[in-house]
Chains A and B, each alone.
Chain A
């Protein structure tokens, strides 16, 4: 039987899980928002990684078809997306019950109006979200249950009568937390079946769309192919799905890391520092790495590693988490935009407004003042992004500077504006170095954890590593840039 290894990185903002095979190849990834109940967060991330692993195994079986036929490629993407919707729907069903229960328990005079308005909101947002999942690929956007629901719910709240506003906010706040901290067991096979049905409906309902200018030709090629051939794809999939769904994804060993690692219900020797995991993950993917910068939710880490991937020294922010990922989250809230929109918006700037980065809350106040004075939003955002990197640069300097090659990891490494300023400032201070950014940068800690798990937590010695890890890099996209 094949052996698999699990790494869980319980961060302050997100919990990540990675499953690797015996050759260190990533076969599954899962991510969710960290919540009050750490175990639930870790379990959800793990389950997602297991589902993702099953899809990877399925894709491996259908590799020839996916490579040669556009309908297979499209169908696989769509089904993963719909699969996420089916999970979402189950949680949403529970949330709906809970919301109604909470509202009914109120003793407000206008309770009936609250309950009625709540039902109306649910009726609006449910099909809205379904549509976004089924037709707009919401599942591929890495948004979490809480964020998806609250965004739509809050948008509807804006429209309601003032007297209902507060009670409806309270209804949501009181209901979301217990639902979010509840573990829901899904049956993979059942969800896949449901997803296929939803897809059938989707493809059946497709009519010939007029071609839009901004869409590439392959988009319509795939769409038309899948529209005409989905039944065939479906039957090929069904041939394998039974086996895949029943395949025992045997986790031989696991390692927990991250800020909440001590709270994971793991044996003590399965808990590893995120410093070592991030360094190990980054070094495995980019073996020439000597300096790692990881910007996480509340920690920024500058790590120096030797040629074997062993940490030689590290520095972390102390006392205050201003300038970490959460800073961006707070700022996004201040602007009323989503975290994913921050980077693109900042990229539109024509200059960077100077903003203080010593305190997140003060920065929020500063932003309001600047907006009031007519400063452009992109310029303020650019300034905020720059401020974060300035703090990170100070940590890097304290840890011993940037050595070639430099690998940038963590959730923030997906933000284009962050990347821009990191490149700019690293070059200014340390000259030209090779800078590595992985498309899966947020999973580096979990990957390192899984790799430690595969090595039974013992260190990977250079001799061993030469034979395994460096030959079989995780098969995921990489970005390598000479800056």
Chain B
């Protein structure tokens, strides 16, 4: 029972944080706070906080809508308003939600944006998304930062300098103008100290999957764990406290030799350890997860939990170089890494966490993720000789989740892993 109570504590903390954010958002005017819409990859949470703004993440709203089974209606609304069937379903879900009154996950209205901050340009859809929102909110100020792609697999001083210049000349002056608040570098630095602390903690949390059995699922539960650090709490004491609590709960699970918690209780037997590439499906999240935990498959690492920042390789926000740190942060998100870098990172995960297999969930309407996935999979399969699996679904459009097809493929994949494991055992 002890771990149940502890488990609840981190969940309660997270729930409180999220509801306080949405409550503040619904009272933004009252509180005299400006509202900044931005995206998770390359999100400048600390800078937004430095200017006392409240963040809104349209793609988080979209996935929350999907989990609350509202995305189908929102997407239909967007399509009725001439958004094509092929458009990214996050966009359509967000646009539909806006058209239906912009009520957030807590049922409170999400305020209109004062700023549309696009700090990651690796996803072309993001640009178009904010172009659409700009038409809906003509008074909002659009601030755009061009984030150079790590084409050569590195962040050069020139690239950092190029971004810092944009922060100094474009972003900061415009934020000052919107908020009427003067840029305070010391304040930003204080946030960055706390960011680095939370980043250390989340990195340690995701490394606990090295244990056998793994105490957590780094994908299906991982998407909850990355919540606070990604949706505006990075750089706050609240985030640090949450991750400390979560880490200690996980430590307790390790001490007791427990496996991950699933919606149907604790996973009893860890049969397969997997690394997953690609976002999950949100409309049938539980059913999707269940296919894995029913068979005893635990995800020991996933690329999706790195979209808001890659901390595995030692990079942290450096308070001593505040704007350079923000620049590097934007450039260092998972989808801004080139394919060889991503392959290396995934291979490192497979080796470090002793994974038995590698599964790609390809999202048809997401170019950022899907481009190159097959090539990456081939490379990983060839170099590590690890069994690979490939399934396809969608982010938030329930029409594109075919349960029986996905289950059929995953069942075949698990049986393939099973064969392989028995074979290896025999060889030993």
Could you tell me which A residues sit within 8 Å of B by CB distance?
A: 259, 272-276, 308, 310-316, 318-319, 398, 400, 458-459, 461
Contact = CB atoms under 8 A, between A and B. Distances in A.
A398 B362 CA distance: 13
20 contacts: A273-B412, A273-B415, A273-B416, A274-B412, A276-B415, A276-B416, A310-B419, A311-B387, A311-B412, A312-B381, A312-B385, A312-B387, A312-B416, A313-B389, A315-B390, A316-B405, A316-B408, A318-B405, A398-B390, A459-B422
Nearest to B409: A316
Contacts of B419: 276, 310-311, 459
B422 A458 contact: yes
Given A275-B412, A318-B405, A313 B423 contact: no
A313 B411 CA distance: 13
B416 to A, nearest CB: 5
B412 A313 contact: no
A313 B387 contact: yes
Contact of A310 (B400, B405, B413, B420): B420
A11 to B, nearest CB: 13
A276 B415 CA distance: 8
B402 interface: yes
Contact of A275 (B381, B385, B416, B426): B416
Nearest to A275: B412
A328 B145 CA distance: 53
A272 B415 contact: yes
A466 to B, nearest CB: 14
A452 to B, nearest CB: 10
Given A313-B390, A314-B413, 6 more contacts: A273-B408, A276-B416, A310-B420, A312-B385, A313-B389, A314-B416
Nearest to B415: A273
A318 B416 CA distance: 19
Given A272-B415, A319-B402, A310 B408 contact: no
DSSP class of B's interface residues: helix, strand, loop or mixed? helix
A161 to B, nearest CB: 45
A314 B357 CA distance: 13
A139 B374 CA distance: 46
Given A318-B392, A459-B423, A313 B381 contact: yes
Contacts of B168: none
Contact of B416 (A310, A315, A316, A458): A310
Contact of B411 (A273, A312, A461): A273
A334 B139 CA distance: 58
Nearest 4 A/B pairs, CB to CB: A273-B412, A275-B412, A311-B416, A459-B419
Interface residues of B, number: 25
Contacts of B378: 400
B388 interface: yes
Nearest to B405: A318
B183 to A, nearest CB: 50
B392 A276 contact: no
Contacts of B416: 273, 275-276, 310-312, 314
A315 B420 CA distance: 18
- The CB with the most chain A CB atoms within 10 A, among B378, B392, B409, B422, is that of B409
A276 B412 contact: yes
Nearest to B416: A311
Contacts of B392: 318-319
Nearest to B378: A400
- The CB with the most chain A CB atoms within 10 A, among B374, B416, B423, is that of B416
B423 A310 contact: yes
A461 B426 CA distance: 8
Contacts of A259: 408
A387 to B, nearest CB: 21
Contacts of B402: 318-319
A272 B385 CA distance: 23
A274 B415 CA distance: 10
B362 to A, nearest CB: 9
Interface in B351-407: 374, 378, 381, 385, 387-392, 400, 402, 405
Nearest to B393: A318
A19 B408 CA distance: 25
A157 to B, nearest CB: 36
A259 B391 CA distance: 17
A314 B408 CA distance: 12
Contacts of A310: 416, 419-420, 423
Nearest to A315: B390
A316 B409 CA distance: 8
- The CB with the most chain B CB atoms within 10 A, among A273, A310, A319, is that of A273
A275 B389 CA distance: 12
Contact of B423 (A274, A318, A400, A461): A461
A272 B414 CA distance: 11
A147 to B, nearest CB: 27
A308 B381 contact: no
Nearest to B417: A311
Given A313-B381, A315-B390, A319-B402, A308 B423 contact: yes
B381 to A, nearest CB: 6
Nearest to A308: B423
B291 to A, nearest CB: 12
B81 to A, nearest CB: 25
Contact of B381 (A319, A398, A400): A400
B413 to A, nearest CB: 8
- The CB with the most chain A CB atoms within 10 A, among B387, B392, B411, is that of B411
